[in-house]
Chain A
Amino acid sequence: MSATETIDLDFEKGNFHYDTEYDYDAGTGLSEATIDYISGVKEEDSWVRDFRMKGLRTFTDKPMPTHWATRDLDNIDFNKIRYYLSKGQTPSRTWEEVPEDVKNTFERLGIPEQERKFLAGVEAQFDSEAAYSRMKDDLAKEGVIFVGSTEGLREHPEIFRRWFGKVIPTSDNKFSALNSAVFSGGSFIYVPPGVKVKQPLQAYFRINAENFGQFERTLIIADEGSEVTYMEGCTAPKFETSTLHSAVVELVALKGAKIQYITVQNWSNNVFNLVTKRARAEEEAEVKWIDCNIGSRLTMKYPGVILKGRKARGEVLSIALAGDGQHQDTGAKMIHAADETSSNIIAKSISVGTGRSSYRGIVNVPRNLKGCKNNTECDALLINSNSRTDTYPAITVRGDGNSVQHEASVSKVSAEQIFYMRQRGLSEAQAMSLSVNGFVNDLVREFPMEYSVELKRLIEMEMEGSVG
């Protein structure tokens, strides 16, 4: 498809909201009663309820990680958040059946159009639950499962339970515990051995309500020798109050499987985006996270791969754009746990105005392993003199038979570069945007076309807004 056909999804485009009546509302604040309510409306088995209760206890016990993370976290008021809002727990299979207001929202975001053009399946989540979920029939015949987590737990407990919470334990961090307590929505995907899903599966996460917390839980299992690409997009309207998005995403790539997970988030600047994402890669499996973080008030996200089997490969390609007043605290984790495993991290960040971007990385290769490789590159671009970037790489490589390579750079768009570009006719904003696109260019080339075009447009929008 050509660039002009790509779905328009810009920063302002997500900033709208239709008034919606909810049939299910857990009210404001978090207690055991909240969990009873959520578990009750979903008609969950007792083990799921117990899992949630354990999550709540862990969340309550764990301190906020402000000893290393930003103090802005203290501004989240958990008592003012609404933890569950939905119109029902069963998604529609056709867009006609989706309630009018919800359908209008997704149509305005271009989701049905994208589905027709290049997707193998779509799940569209509106606040707490999927409003729409559908996959192409031929994939279903091959045994592929692509449903929401509510449905996954109900219909496929035997696969779900086996891997659920195994890659990211409840106690991993305060927000994974919170998600474990109140999770709702997200995708459950299972790809049978040897099945290669050619077109991407896509989920779209939409926050519609004010003071709302979205806690989707995604679990993707690619069985031996299978392949799948999953893409997620996210937007929310701009509210005066803050919104919390705290997802947990677990990926399991069994022997020789390949998972590519692409995120293009475009949150409005009132969203706290605190997400835990991790994969487990077995022998000769490959997991690639492509992570584009634009918008939000604060994003903390460090996609990781546990390289569990021999010759497993993990990759994180990450782009973060911190606009004025925003903080993108992103990075990657590569935990080598078998011989001949390799990992690659390329992180590029752009800070605009008072925006701040931080890179945090962990690479761990223990002494007993042989033939492991890691490559880490972190490049930061500062647009204004008050922009900020910090890098916290923690690379621990022990043993003689392992190799590591690390490069980092910080650059700035100079006034002379801008003058040069303006002399050719570009406005200041166009010149900025072209420099930023040039900076991320080599990375964006790795993305599927539809998303690279969208990303370019998002960057342009962001830069237009940044020049006064």
Chain B
Amino acid sequence: MDSLHIEKLNVSIGEKSILNDFTLTVPKGEVHALMGPNGTGKSTLAKVLAGHQDYHTDSGSVLLDGKEILGKEPDEISHAGLFLAFQYPLEIPGVSIANFIRAAIESRLGAEESLDAPAYYRRLYEKMDLLQIDRKFTSRSLNEGFSGGEKKRAEILQMAMLEPTYCILDETDSGLDIDALKVVSNGVNFMRSNERGSLIITHYQRLLDYIVPDVVHVMWDGRIVKSGGKGLALELEEKGYDWVKDELAVACS
């Protein structure tokens, strides 16, 4: 029950099928890595989980701690506890990071509740200190004119403030230099908890030097073709994705 459970998910855009009977379980307390070459459906999976309307789900189910989230609105899914760190975070001109996160937190309050502003700022600064983010950052417009690294830090800060039960990190390492990569990884490691499950989507092994996963999955052609321990990532790095492809060809013949 306490897991993000994806069961035989089939998703298409137009005539093209992208996810084929995709099945995966991320239990609470674990960090899973989902690896695979470009175009294999990793980012589609992330968007479908978050409720993006552009994709058509043909069949399957996504259970968040036993509750179906497929077909729900993006904000409902967010409130249910799923957070997606975007590969390409969007710019929101004129809206400061502090005000944006505040609005996100306020959206979770009941009609009679109101946000305790001083407590909110205390917590925001605490998290920023932990993530080694400069306090000046809070007054900047969200993602506007940010470097790749700054955008990813802002994603991690939002994640830390919203404290989701399940985190999906979509190619969080793309476009990061080594210092930014360390900051981001620290954030994710700091978020590790028995109460939280994470799925890290990545193309490269590099991120997994800093975030050590419990399980590594290899995705190919819209489904998981191989799962294993952290050693699998190293093996992939060494042998390349063609190795999986070749193995698959052998298995299928």
Interface residue B195 (Cβ < 8 Å from any Cβ of A): no
Closest to A427 in B: B75
The reply to whether B90 and A426 contact each other, CB–CB distance below 8 Å, is no
Q: Given that A438-B95, A439-B93, A441-B94 are contacting pairs, would A430 and B103 also be in contact in the complex, using a CB cutoff of 8 Å?
A: yes
Interface residue B216 (Cβ < 8 Å from any Cβ of A): no
The reply to whether A420 and B75 contact each other, CB–CB distance below 8 Å, is no
Q: Given that A419-B52, A434-B100 are contacting pairs, would A427 and B107 also be in contact in the complex, using a CB cutoff of 8 Å?
A: yes
Residues 172-198 of chain A, each 1 if its beta carbon lies under 8 Å from chain B, else 0: 000000000000000000000000000
Contacts of A430 in B (CB 8 A): 103, 107
Contacts of B86 in A (CB 8 A): 420, 423
Q: Which of B79, B91, B99 contacts A425 (CB 8 A)?
A: B79
Interface residue B232 (Cβ < 8 Å from any Cβ of A): no
CA distance A426 to B101 in the complex (A): 10
Q: Which of B74, B83, B93, B104 contacts A419 (CB 8 A)?
A: B74
Contacts of B162 in A (CB 8 A): 424-425
Contacts of A419 in B (CB 8 A): 50, 52-53, 74
Interface residue B209 (Cβ < 8 Å from any Cβ of A): no
Q: Given that A419-B74, A438-B141 are contacting pairs, would A424 and B93 also be in contact in the complex, using a CB cutoff of 8 Å?
A: no
Interface residue B10 (Cβ < 8 Å from any Cβ of A): no
Contacts of A438 in B (CB 8 A): 92-95, 141
Task: Give the number of residue pairs across the A-B interface with Cβ within 8 Å.
Answer: 75
The reply to whether A423 and B74 contact each other, CB–CB distance below 8 Å, is yes
Q: Given that A423-B50, A423-B74 are contacting pairs, would A434 and B90 also be in contact in the complex, using a CB cutoff of 8 Å?
A: no
The reply to whether A421 and B92 contact each other, CB–CB distance below 8 Å, is yes
Instruction: Report the minimal beta-carbon distance from B90 to chain A, rounded to whole angstroms.
Output: 4
CA distance A421 to B50 in the complex (A): 11
Q: How many residues of B contact A (CB 8 A)?
A: 31
The reply to whether A426 and B95 contact each other, CB–CB distance below 8 Å, is no
Contacts of B95 in A (CB 8 A): 434-435, 437-438, 441
Contacts of B92 in A (CB 8 A): 417, 420-421, 434-435, 438
Interface residue A397 (Cβ < 8 Å from any Cβ of B): no
Interface residue A80 (Cβ < 8 Å from any Cβ of B): no
Interface residue B206 (Cβ < 8 Å from any Cβ of A): no
Residues 200-217 of chain B, each 1 if its beta carbon lies under 8 Å from chain A, else 0: 000000000000000000
Contacts of A420 in B (CB 8 A): 86, 89-90, 92
CA distance A428 to B158 in the complex (A): 19
The reply to whether B93 and A426 contact each other, CB–CB distance below 8 Å, is no
Q: Given that A419-B52, A419-B74, A434-B100 are contacting pairs, would A426 and B94 also be in contact in the complex, using a CB cutoff of 8 Å?
A: no
Residues 406-422 of chain A, each 1 if its beta carbon lies under 8 Å from chain B, else 0: 00000100101101111
Contacts of A417 in B (CB 8 A): 90-92
The reply to whether B108 and A425 contact each other, CB–CB distance below 8 Å, is yes
Instruction: Report the minimal beta-carbon distance from B64 to chain A, rounded to whole angstroms.
Output: 14
Interface residue A442 (Cβ < 8 Å from any Cβ of B): yes
Instruction: Report the minimal beta-carbon distance from B146 to chain A, rounded to whole angstroms.
Output: 14
User: Which residues of B (52-109) have their CB < 8 Å from a CB of A?
Assistant: 52-53, 73-75, 77-79, 83-84, 86, 89-95, 99-101, 103-105, 107-108
Q: Which of A414, A422, A439, A440 contacts B78 (CB 8 A)?
A: A422
Closest to B143 in A: A420
Instruction: Report the minimal beta-carbon distance from B52 to chain A, rounded to whole angstroms.
Output: 6
Q: Which of A411, A416, A424 contacts B100 (CB 8 A)?
A: A424
Instruction: Report the minimal beta-carbon distance from A62 to chain B, rounded to whole angstroms.
Output: 42
The reply to whether B78 and A442 contact each other, CB–CB distance below 8 Å, is no
CA distance A426 to B74 in the complex (A): 9
CA distance A442 to B105 in the complex (A): 23
CA distance A421 to B92 in the complex (A): 9
CA distance A434 to B108 in the complex (A): 16
The reply to whether A439 and B108 contact each other, CB–CB distance below 8 Å, is no
User: Which residues of A (372-421) have their CB < 8 Å from a CB of B?
Assistant: 411, 414, 416-417, 419-421
Closest to A3 in B: B117
CA distance A422 to B107 in the complex (A): 10
Q: Which of B52, B99, B104 contacts A424 (CB 8 A)?
A: B104
Q: Given that A419-B74, A430-B107, A435-B95 are contacting pairs, would A424 and B158 also be in contact in the complex, using a CB cutoff of 8 Å?
A: yes
A-B contact pairs, 30 of them (CB 8 A): A411-B93, A417-B91, A420-B90, A421-B100, A422-B78, A423-B50, A423-B51, A423-B75, A423-B78, A423-B83, A424-B100, A424-B101, A424-B103, A425-B75, A425-B79, A425-B107, A425-B108, A426-B104, A427-B75, A427-B107, A430-B107, A434-B92, A434-B100, A435-B92, A437-B95, A438-B94, A438-B95, A438-B141, A439-B93, A441-B94
The 4 closest A-B pairs by CB, nearest first: A438-B94, A438-B95, A422-B74, A441-B94
Residues of B within 8 A of A (CB): 50-53, 73-75, 77-79, 83-84, 86, 89-95, 99-101, 103-105, 107-108, 141, 158, 162
Given contacts A419-B50, A438-B95, 20 further A-B pairs with CB under 8 A are A411-B93, A417-B91, A419-B53, A420-B90, A422-B51, A422-B75, A423-B50, A423-B78, A424-B78, A424-B101, A424-B104, A424-B158, A425-B105, A425-B162, A430-B103, A430-B107, A434-B103, A435-B95, A438-B93, A441-B94
